[in-house]
Structure 1
Amino acid sequence: MRTVLWVVGVAAVVLVLLGLVLEAVRWLVIIGVIALAVVIVVGIVQGRRTMQRHSAGRR
Structure 2
Amino acid sequence: MLSWALVFLVIALIAAALGFGGIAGASAGIAQVLFFIFAALFVISLIARFVRN
TM-score, length-scaled by structure 1: 0.56
Q: Which runs of 4+ in 1 moved over 2 A?
A: none
Structure of higher CA gyration radius: 1
Deviation at 1:12, TM superposition (A): 0.3
Q: Which runs of 5+ in 1 are unaligned?
A: 37-59
Partner of 2:51 in structure 1? Answer: 34
For 1:13, the aligned partner's letter is I
- Unpaired runs of 5+ in structure 2? 1-18
Which of the pair has the greater relative contact order for Cα pairs under 8 Å at 6+ separation?
A: 2
Q: CA deviation at 1:3?
A: 1.3
How does the TM-score come out when normalised to structure 2? 0.63
Task: Provide the identity percentage.
Answer: 11
TM-superposition CA deviations, 1:5-49 (whole Å, max 9, x none): 00000000000000000000010000000011xxxxxxxxxxxxx
Question: More helix by proportion, 1 or 2?
Answer: 1
